[in-house]
Amino acid sequence: MQKKNIAILGSTGSIGTQALEVIRQHPDKFKVEILTARSNADLLIEQAKLFSPTMIVITDKNQAEKVKIALSNTNIKIYSDENSLAEIVKSDTIDIVLTALVGYAGLLPTLNALEAKKTIALANKETLVVAGELVMNLAKKNNCHILPVDSEHSAIFQCLVGENYQQIEKIILTASGGPFRGKKTQDLIHITKTQALKHPNWSMGAKITIDSASLMNKGLEVIEAKWLFGMANDQIDVVVHPQSIVHSLVQFKDSSIKAQLGLPDMKLPIQYAFGFPDRLENNFERFNFLNYPQLTFESPDLTTFRNLSLAFEALKKGGNMPCILNAANEIAVDKFLHDKISFLGMSDLIENVMQKMTFIQNPTYNDYVKTDIETRKISENYGNK
């Protein structure tokens, strides 16, 4: 396997830091070429000193000078604006771009990387939620691989290696159910952000943890799966699997089912995407069936966890509706994390905004940009008198 140069967009976040752990275990196979962060200057400086990338980007200009001073005795090129983040992915020296940015911010860098014919290791599900058809068409046009890093989509991808996609009957995404599995609406009225941030199985960033608690994360993954695997809407199911051992399943037309299993550890799907088509050895903890004598499955509660229902509604409607869903959700989560809205109020906000926004059946890139801006504006004003 030829050594691959990796660009990590969002290197100081949960996925980014775990990606660097994978690279550190395989220095003969991967090299860090680019690191980017929004505002965590201290960690970015530490990463840059440890991995010696060619370039770094810090998009918070208030932190740029601190980074430049700390790395002044290195040859690392330092950039400090949003345009640099979107442009740096075109570098000739990059083999793989890991998009580990949070939310809508991942769209433009991903599109630019595909224009430059780069392989994408996709951890930013919102890119396909917002503009799935546009992104996949560009990948196809430029003969680019999009390798999923989400554990569920990586599981499906692994199950489909060597298979004919035409033989798929349906794909089944698993959800842990989050910290409030089994709760009813009345139980969630006074939920705090501290409670919502305690995921039972996974260690993730704040935004995705809240999305997991509300089941919006699973809704976004359903939309992502449609585009990644070319599925019809009715070919995607969700089951709640509290142990988070079966990461997802594929059912074929002959009734056979394939599943990918393992302990909940994001380093595995990251490593699989980086190494594909090879499987690389590692020292990760191994799963033992004897430690999990029961693996259980149940239907998701779409009445209590309305966000998943809203995501299915956006998927069915199509057009710019998933873009509206995503933008409204990003604002709703931010409001919840800043104690401006209740846990259940997030669903109220999203549903209200989905009803208010102008629907576009066949949006262009500019339509997505305008939709995102307008949705955020309406969402920010939600509840104001």
18-52: per-residue pLDDT in tens? 999 999 999 999 999 999 999 999 999 999 999 99
Please give the mean pLDDT across all residues of the chain.
95
62-114: per-residue pLDDT in tens? 999 999 999 999 999 999 977 899 999 999 999 999 999 988 888 999 999 99
Beta-bridge partner residues of 78: 56
CA 214, CA 68: separation in Å to the nearest integer? 40
Query: Per-residue DSSP letters for 234-263?
Result: GGEEEEE-TT--EEEEEEETTS-EEEEE--
**For residue 162, what pLDDT band results from cuts at 50, 70 and 90?**
very high
Q: What is the pLDDT of residue 83?
A: 87
**Phi and psi torsions of 270, nearest 5°:** -65, -50
Read off the pLDDT of each residue in 328-338 and give the average, rounded to a whole number.
96
CA 273, CA 287: separation in Å to the nearest integer? 20
Share of the chain above pLDDT 90, in %: 91
Strand order in the sheet with 119-122: 77-79, 55-58, 30-37, 4-9, 96-99, 119-122, 146-148
Domains of the chain in start order, with CATH, are: 4-148 (3.40.50.720), 153-265+286-312 (no CATH), 318-385 (1.10.1740.10)
Instruction: Sort strands 168-175 and 246-252 into parallel, antiparallel or unpaired.
Output: antiparallel
**For residue 206, what pLDDT band results from cuts at 50, 70 and 90?**
confident
The residue among 92, 81, 89 whose CA lies nearest residue 106 is: 89
Q: What is the pLDDT of residue 385?
A: 58
